[in-house]
Amino acid sequence: MSGIDACLVEAMELPGARGAAVVDWTSGLALGTAGEAAGGDSETAAAESAELARMAAEHGTFAPGPGRHRRNAQGQDDKGLPVEDVIITTRTDYHLLRYVETSFDSSVFLHLWLDRDQGNLALARLRLAELAERLVLG
């Protein structure tokens, strides 16, 4: 288990990492940032990525289909978020938004900005999932 700062330091150790943030998609505020901010302004980057994260998490289009719900240890449907992550690919970069399951309202995600030539998207996705699982908030 790690806090926000430790999580961001680990995210920035990934090959090609340009910037990382922990963002609350409800408010659009960054709870922590490291490295550069996409677009040059961390507040704007947090607010804009929060819009995208909120849209993906709240729209039924991305919910699992019938019979495709994840089961918890008791064999019941998992009521967690329907979306695990969002990947945006530009001509020069990757942006990964990884949702963080929390004991409260689960409105937090990790945003990792990677250089496309230097980064490894598959590795980054796996590592971000691990970091999200270990992240302790509050």
For residues 20 and 112, the answer to whether their CB atoms sit within 8 Å is yes
| pLDDT in the model for residue 83 | 86
98-117 tens-digit pLDDT: 999 877 766 899 999 999 99
- As to burial, measured by CB atoms within 10 angstroms (0-12 exposed, 13-18 middle, 19+ buried), residue 55 is middle
Q: Which CATH architecture has domain 4-62+77-134?
A: 2-Layer Sandwich (3.30)
Q: Which residues make Cβ contacts (< 8 Å) with residue 73, sequence separation at least 6?
A: none
The pLDDT assigned to 109 comes to 94
The pLDDT of residue 23 is 96
Mean pLDDT of 10-38: 94
Residue bearing the bigger pLDDT, 127 or 71? 127
Query: Would you say residue 74 has pLDDT above 70?
Result: no
Model pLDDT for residues 30-40, shown as the tens digit of each residue: 999 999 988 88
Contact 16, 117 (CB under 8 A): yes
pLDDT of residue 136: 72
Task: Provide the 8-state DSSP code for 7.
Answer: H
Which stretch, 7-21, 53-67, 101-115, has highest mean pLDDT? 7-21
pLDDT-above-90 percentage for the chain: 62
Asked if residue 70 has pLDDT above 70, the reply is no
Instruction: Please tell me the least confidently modeled range out of 18-27, 58-67, 90-99, 104-113.
Output: 58-67
At 125, phi and psi to the nearest 5?
A: -65, -45
- Give me the pLDDT at residue 60, please: 74
